[in-house]
Each structure stands twice: as C-alpha cells, then as structure tokens.
Amino acid sequence: MSHKPLREGSVHGRFQPFHNGHLEYVLAAQKQCSLLWIGITKFDISEPSPLARIRERPENNPLTYHQRLTMIRAALSESGIGQDEFAFVPFPIETPTKLTQFLPTSVPCFTTVYEEWNKEKILVLQSQGYEVRVLWERQQKAISGGEIRTDIIAGGSRWKAMVPSATVRLAEEFHLAERLRALSNTARV
C-alpha cells in the first residue's frame, strides 16, 4: 500500500445524485489520505433547513441518506477504491455548530470552489475549527445535480452519461424519476 500524506481527511456534499463531478472530487481527496470520511449534507431530508436555500428544498433532495451512501459506495467500488478506505458520516453544514458532533476538527476538510456557496462553506468550516484544503477552483461546474434531476424528470437520458454506472443502476432501483416527479409536482402546488 502506498503512503498517503494524511491518515484521515473528509469531503462533503449533498450528492443528489452522485455524479461524475462528485466522483472526481472524492477520488482526488481519497488520494490524499488513508481514510476518507464522506460527509453527507442535508442528511435529514424531512427537516426544513434553517438556511432556506433553493438547494435545500425537498425537490432538490430526493434521495435519503442511506440511498446516497449506497450509491457512493457502489460508485467507489466500481472505481477500485476499497471499502476500508472510506466511511460515511452525517455532515450538518446547515447547522454548523453541530458539525463537531459528527467529525472531529482534527480531520481536514477537502473542498472545491465553483461558486459563492463554496467560499461561504470554507468560512463556515474554518469558523468551527476545521482546516480546509481546496483541491481546485474552477469558474463553472461541468456537471450539476440540478441539470441531472431536470433531465430525469423530463424522461431524458443525457444524465446517464453524467453519472457513474452505479448511479444509473441505483437511480432506477430507487425509483428516482418517480420520486423527483412527485416532489416537483408538490413544489409547484
């Protein structure tokens, strides 16, 4: 086994659903540490968020915590990452004072920067005592969860090229299209 610079590190995201951009991010961080904690934000999709952002609305969070970790685990396994190289943890970025209940501040947080929200998260994490390591900063995302969800709702197939094959398989198993359509209809009412 090759030596990695850190014993532990972490990434975080909603992963709604887990796509190729997420996979790139997780794999880049995983190369830096022996054990990668994968923090699932908005882990309780039934609770309204105190931040009331568009990204936190029910229609933008169709998958449960368990469904997301199942999806990520399968995608990482397909990528050759051993199950002993990562673990999952709830990551309540929406209520930052709770973060240390789930992840010690001794574990560095890897992140990426695409938009103002990412910069805000860095400040939030630092305010709670975490070391933040930015893997890259880019002007725009090549893939967005919103774009994928919209294509799924429309009955499209473009989204299938934007996600790992495990996500395609599990999205069908979890009846993601039906759930997204129901949430989308509820949001319009």
Domain boundaries along the sequence of the chain:
6-188
DSSP structure class, residue 9: E
CATH of 6-188, one of 3.30.450.40, 3.30.2030.30, 3.40.50.620, 3.30.565.10: 3.40.50.620
3-class state of residue 79 by DSSP: coil
The rounded distance, in Å, linking the Cα atoms of 7 and 121 is: 23
Name the pTM for this structure.
0.93
3-class state of residue 22 by DSSP: helix
DSSP structure class, residue 50: S
- The region of weakest confidence among 49-53, 87-91, 113-117, 178-182 is 49-53
Q: Answer whether residue 3 shows pLDDT above 90.
A: no
What rounded mean pLDDT belongs to the chain?
93
3-class state of residue 113 by DSSP: strand
In the sheet with 109-113, reading across from the earlier edge strand, the strands are: 86-90, 33-40, 6-13, 109-113, 132-137
- Single out the residue of 36, 18, 44 nearest to residue 109, CA to CA: 36
Dig out the tokens for 60 from the structure.
């933008």
The rounded distance, in Å, linking the Cα atoms of 135 and 97 is: 24
Residue 174 region by backbone torsions, left for phi larger than 0, else alpha for psi between -120 and 50, else beta = alpha
Query: Between these two residues, 99 and 59, which has the higher pLDDT value?
Result: 99
pLDDT digits over 70-115, tens only?
999 999 999 999 999 999 999 999 899 999 999 999 999 999 999 9
- Residue 1: per-residue pLDDT: 46
Percent helix, strand, coil in the chain, to 5, is 45, 15, 35
The rounded distance, in Å, linking the Cα atoms of 61 and 59 is: 6
